[in-house]
C-alpha cells in the first residue's frame, strides 16, 4: 500500500513537471535600447516585464552582463537591481575587473500579474574628495541586448465567463506572442468577413503584442480556439465534441477547450481547462456579424456567465481620420488627453519626458503655418540663470525655454510657436529635457541635486491648424504607422481583402494582417469585407493575399515587379536622391525563391485613386511566414516606397540562444510609379499646390507680373500713339 502511495505521488510530481513550461527571452524585447549607458554619479533605468494573469510563475531568473569604467572606486560604486521598487541585489563596480556577468533570481513574491518594473540603479564615484558630478570617467554600461529572462511557469485554469474575453484570454502580457486558432466553415467571403472582425478584436486586446493566427475546420490543441459560423455549422461541430448548444440568436459562449481525437497537435483526452473554446454564432449572416461586433467591444468584467445572448448593438458615430492618438486639426488638446500627466524632472542627468501623437497620414503639411504650444510649468529656486527646459520634436531640438529666475517661478500659458513643416504625417513625438545648473557650482561646492527640478503640467496644450488631405502614394511606411490608407475610416470601411485562393493558409495570413492593422489603428475593423473571387472588380481600397501564381492578371500588370514566367525586377544601380531614377530593370526567366515574401503597393487596377496592396509568396509556407513576421521591428522600420522583398534566414546559433532561429531581412525600394490621392478638406486645391510646390507660386507670380507689365506697356504705347496723332 505504501509503495502504491509513493508511486502515485511520484506520478503526480512527474505530471506537474511535464506540464510546467519554460521560456527564455532576450531582455531587449522589452525595451528599445540594446545597451544602456549610465552617466554621472547616480542614474536609474527601468523597463517593464510582463507577467500574464493566466500564468503561475515558478521561477524567474535574470542573466545579464555589464562593463564599468576602470577609473571608479570599488568601495563607493555599485549597481543595484530592483523589482517594483524593492532592491533584490547589489553588485560592486570593480575597476580591476570591469566586465562582469551575473545571474539573479527574481523573488516571486515581488512579481505580480501585469507589468512589473525592473530597474537598474547606479551609484559611482572616481574619487573620495571633490568630484565633478558628470565627469567623463563616471560611466557604466549594462548590455541589455545580451541579457536574458528565464521563466518557468504553469498555465492556470480559466473561469468559464464571457467576461474573460475582455482581459484574460487575450492578455497583452502573454509573451512572446499570442496564439489563437480560428475554426470556420470553409474559406469564403461569407465565412471570412465575420472571422476577420473577430480577429480585429483579438488583435486590439493584445495591444502591440504579436499574434500568431491559424485557421482550419478543426480544433487545435495547446492554444485558445474560436469557433465562428452560423447555427447549422456550429451546432454540428460542437456535437462532434460531445457538446450541445441551441443557437437561437446572436450568441457568445465559452467552454474549456475540448480535446478530441480530431484535434491538431494532441491525442484524445481532456478537457484542457487552461485554454478556451469561444463560440461566436447566429441564425444568419446578419446575426453572426452582430455577435462578432459584440465580441470586439467587450471591455468590462460583465457578463460573468458562460453565455451572452446579444439583442442589439450600436456604436458611436465615427469620422474619417479619428484613429488611435490622432489629432483633429483645429481642436485644442490639453496634454492629459494625449497621455501626458503632471511630471517633475529632477537632477543633473534626468531622463527626458514626452508623449506621442498622430497626424493624419495624408496631411499635406503647409510650410507657412504654425502649431501653437501653451506650456504651464514651474521650476525651483536656487538654480543658475543658464538653466533651460529644451523641447525636442521626433528627437530633434526645436526650442528652449530659459529658466532665469533664481527665486524660481510658476508660469502658465507660455507660448511656443513651432512651424508645421517640422512635423511629419503619421506618428510624432514631443519630448522635454532639462539642463539644470545650481547657483553655486564651484569644484568643491556641495550640490543638492534634489533641488534641481522642473514640473511640466498636464494642463499645457497643443493646437494644430487645419490642413488639406492630399498625398502621393505608394508609401508603405505609412501602412506600418496606422494601416493607411486602409483606415481613413477607422473601422476599415471601403476596404476589401481579396484571397486569391480559398485556402486556410491564405486565411491565416489575412488574420495576422487584420490583427496588426487593428493594433496600429486602435479601432475594431467592423467595416471590412472579404472576397474570394479573383475576377471581381473591386472599387474599394484593396488588399490582395495569395501565392504569386494565383494573383489576378490586372494586379500583376500594375505591380511594381512583374511576376510570372518571366520576371521584371528593379535593381538599384547607384544611390540617388531620386531613388526611382537610380533603378535598372531586368527582364529574366528565374524565380524569387520559395521561402521569400513580397509586399507591394500600387494604384488599384480597378479604380483610379484607390490603393492596392499585395502580400504574396511563391509558396504557402512563405506566405504563412510572411504573415507571422509582420510585427518584426526590423521589417517595419525598413519598409518604404512601393516594393518590399522579405527574406527569411535560419541561424542555428540564434535558435539555441533565443529559441527562434529565423531572422528577417527586408529590402525595400521605390520604383517610381506614383499617384495622388486624398481630399482637399477645408483648404482649397489651389492653396494645396501653392503651399506644397512653392516654385509654382514663383512661376505664377512672375507670370502675373510679366502680363501686368505687358498690359501697362501696351496701354502706354497706345496712349503715346494717340497723343502723337493729336499733335500732328
pLDDT for 317 equals: 82
* 407's grid cell: 527665486
Residue 34 CB neighbours (<10 A)? 13
Q: Is the peptide bond before 176 cis (omega within 30 degrees of 0)?
A: yes
Give the C-alpha separation, 313 to 303, whole Å.
15
pLDDT for 148 equals: 93
Phi/psi of residue 631, nearest 5 degrees: -85, -5
* SS3 (DSSP) at 659: coil
In DSSP notation, 465-526 reads ----EEEEE--HHHHHHH-TTTTSSTT-TTEEEEESS--HHHHHHHHHHHHHHHHHHTS--T
Distance of CA 430 to the CA centre of its chain: 18
Integer CA distances (angstroms), 675 to 472, 540, 645, 678, in order: 6, 16, 22, 10
The DSSP secondary-structure symbol of 617 reads E
Give the C-alpha separation, 94 to 111, whole Å.
30
Phi/psi of residue 422, nearest 5 degrees: -75, -20
Phi/psi of residue 455, nearest 5 degrees: -115, 130
Report the largest interatomic distance among the alpha carbons of the chain, rounded to a whole angstrom: 144
pLDDT for 262 equals: 47
pLDDT for 220 equals: 95
Give the C-alpha separation, 646 to 616, whole Å.
10
* 320's grid cell: 474619417
Q: What is the 3-state secondary structure (H, E, C) of 224-283?
A: EEEEEEEHHHHHHHHHHCCCCCCCCCCEEEEEEEEECCCCECCCCEEEEEEEEEEEEEEC
Give the C-alpha separation, 130 to 114, whole Å.
44
Decide if 482 contacts 324 (C-beta within 8 A): yes
Could you identify the residue written with the cell 514651474? 378
> Which candidate, 527, 541, 674, places its Cα nearest to that of 606?
541
For residues 325, 331, 337 and 339, what is the CA-based torsion angle, rounded to 10 degrees?
A: 50
284 burial via Cβ count (<10 Å: 0-12, 13-18, 19+): exposed
The DSSP secondary-structure symbol of 551 reads S
pLDDT for 151 equals: 96
* 544's grid cell: 490582395
Phi/psi of residue 349, nearest 5 degrees: -135, 65
pLDDT for 15 equals: 43
Integer CA distances (angstroms), 70 to 66, 67, 99, 139, in order: 13, 9, 10, 9
Integer CA distances (angstroms), 541 to 529, 629, 671, in order: 10, 23, 21
* 79's grid cell: 549597481
Please list the rounded mean pLDDT of every run of 10 residues in the chain (728 residues): 47 46 86 86 91 96 97 96 96 96 96 95 92 91 92 96 92 95 96 98 95 96 96 96 95 90 51 95 96 90 85 81 87 94 89 91 83 97 93 96 95 95 90 90 74 95 89 91 92 96 96 97 95 88 94 90 63 56 52 78 92 94 92 89 86 65 81 77 53 69 88 85 69
Integer CA distances (angstroms), 64 to 145, 150, 400, in order: 9, 11, 38
* 701's grid cell: 507670380
* 486's grid cell: 486602409
* 514's grid cell: 487584420
pLDDT for 11 equals: 45
pLDDT for 594 equals: 67
Amino acid at each position: 500500500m505504501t509503495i502504491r502511495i509513493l508511486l502515485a505521488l511520484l506520478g503526480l510530481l512527474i505530471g506537474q513537471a511535464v506540464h510546467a513550461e519554460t521560456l527564455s527571452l532576450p531582455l531587449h524585447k522589452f525595451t528599445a535600447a540594446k545597451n544602456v549607458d549610465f552617466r554621472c554619479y547616480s542614474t536609474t533605468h527601468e523597463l517593464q516585464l510582463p507577467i500574464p494573469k493566466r500564468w503561475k510563475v515558478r521561477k524567474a531568473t535574470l542573466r545579464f552582463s555589464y562593463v564599468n569604467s576602470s577609473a571608479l572606486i570599488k568601495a563607493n560604486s555599485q549597481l543595484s537591481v530592483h523589482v517594483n521598487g524593492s532592491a533584490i541585489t547589489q553588485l560592486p563596480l570593480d575597476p580591476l575587473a570591469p566586465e562582469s556577468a551575473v545571474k539573479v533570481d527574481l523573488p516571486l513574491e515581488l512579481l505580480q500579474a501585469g507589468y512589473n518594473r525592473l530597474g537598474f540603479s547606479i551609484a559611482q564615484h572616481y574619487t573620495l574628495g571633490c568630484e565633478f558630478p558628470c565627469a567623463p570617467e563616471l560611466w557604466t554600461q549594462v548590455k541589455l541586448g545580451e541579457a536574458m529572462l528565464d521563466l518557468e511557469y504553469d498555465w492556470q485554469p480559466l473561469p468559464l465567463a464571457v467576461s474573460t474575453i475582455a482581459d484574460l484570454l487575450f492578455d497583452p502580457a502573454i509573451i512572446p506572442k499570442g496564439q489563437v486558432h480560428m475554426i470556420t466553415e470553409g474559406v469564403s467571403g461569407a465565412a471570412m468577413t465575420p472571422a476577420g472582425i473577430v480577429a480585429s478584436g483579438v488583435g486590439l486586446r493584445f495591444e502591440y503584442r504579436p499574434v500568431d493566427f491559424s485557421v482550419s475546420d478543426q480544433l487545435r490543441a495547446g492554444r485558445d480556439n474560436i469557433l465562428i459560423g452560423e447555427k447549422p455549422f456550429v451546432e454540428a461541430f460542437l456535437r462532434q465534441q460531445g457538446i450541445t448548444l441551441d443557437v437561437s440568436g446572436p450568441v457568445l459562449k465559452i467552454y474549456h477547450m475540448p480535446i478530441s481525437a480530431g484535434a491538431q497537435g494532441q491525442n484524445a483526452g481532456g478537457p484542457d481547462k487552461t485554454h478556451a473554446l469561444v463560440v461566436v454564432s447566429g441564425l444568419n449572416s446578419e446575426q453572426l456579424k452582430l455577435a462578432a461586433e459584440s465580441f470586439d467591444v467587450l471591455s468590462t468584467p460583465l457578463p460573468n456567465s458562460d453565455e451572452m445572448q446579444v439583442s442589439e448593438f450600436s456604436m458611436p458615430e465615427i469620422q474619417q481620420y479619428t484613429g488611435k492618438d490622432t489629432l483633429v486639426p483645429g481642436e485644442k488638446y490639453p496634454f492629459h488627453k494625449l497621455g501626458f500627466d503632471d511630471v517633475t524632472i529632477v537632477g543633473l542627468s534626468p531622463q527626458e519626458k514626452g508623449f506621442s501623437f498622430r497626424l493624419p497620414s495624408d496631411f499635406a503639411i503647409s510650410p507657412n503655418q504654425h502649431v501653437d504650444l501653451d506650456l504651464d510649468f514651474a521650476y525651483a529656486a536656487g538654480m543658475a540663470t543658464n538653466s533651460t527646459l529644451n523641447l525636442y520634436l521626433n528627437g530633434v531640438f526645436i526650442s528652449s525655454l530659459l529658466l532665469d529666475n533664481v527665486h524660481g517661478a510658476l508660469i502658465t500659458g507660455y507660448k511656443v510657436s513651432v512651424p508645421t513643416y517640422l512635423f511629419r504625417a503619421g506618428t510624432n513625438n514631443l519630448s522635454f529635457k532639462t539642463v539644470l545648473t545650481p547657483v553655486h557650482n564651484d569644484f568643491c561646492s556641495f550640490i543638492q541635486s534634489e533641488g534641481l527640478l522642473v514640473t511640466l503640467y498636464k494642463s499645457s496644450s497643443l493646437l494644430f491648424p487645419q490642413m488639406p488631405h492630399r498625398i502621393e502614394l505608394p508609401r508603405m511606411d505609412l501602412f506600418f504607422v496606422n494601416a493607411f490608407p486602409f483606415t481613413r475610416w477607422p473601422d476599415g470601411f471601403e476596404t476589401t481583402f481579396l484571397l486569391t485562393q480559398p485556402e486556410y493558409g491564405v486565411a491565416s495570413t489575412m488574420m495576422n494582417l487584420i490583427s496588426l492593422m487593428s493594433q496600429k489603428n486602435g479601432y475594431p475593423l467592423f467595416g471590412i469585407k472579404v472576397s474570394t473571387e479573383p475576377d471581381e472588380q473591386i472599387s474599394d481600397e484593396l488588399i490582395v493575399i495569395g501565392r504569386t501564381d494565383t494573383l489576378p492578371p490586372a494586379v500583376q500588370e500594375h505591380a511594381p515587379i512583374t511576376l510570372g514566367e518571366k520576371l521584371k525586377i528593379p535593381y538599384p544601380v547607384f544611390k540617388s536622391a531620386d531613388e526611382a531614377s537610380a533603378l535598372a530593370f531586368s527582364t529574366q526567366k528565374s524565380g524569387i525563391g520559395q521561402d521569400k515574401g513580397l509586399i507591394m503597393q500600387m494604384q488599384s487596377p480597378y479604380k483610379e485613386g484607390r490603393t492596392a496592396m499585395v502580400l504574396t509568396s511563391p509558396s504557402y509556407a512563405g506566405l504563412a511566414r510572411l504573415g507571422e513576421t509582420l510585427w518584426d521591428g526590423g521589417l517595419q522600420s525598413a519598409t518604404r516606397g512601393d516594393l518590399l522583398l522579405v527574406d527569411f534566414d535560419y541561424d542555428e546559433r540564434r535558435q539555441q540562444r533565443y529559441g527562434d532561429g529565423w531572422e528577417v531581412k527586408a529590402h525595400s525600394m521605390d520604383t517610381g510609379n506614383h499617384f495622388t490621392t486624398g481630399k482637399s478638406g477645408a483648404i482649397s486645391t489651389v492653396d494645396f499646390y501653392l503651399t506644397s510646390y512653392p516654385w509654382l507660386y514663383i512661376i505664377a507670380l512672375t507670370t502675373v507680373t510679366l502680363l501686368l507689365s505687358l498690359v501697362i506697356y501696351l496701354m502706354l504705347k497706345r496712349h503715346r500713339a494717340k497723343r502723337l496723332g493729336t499733335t500732328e
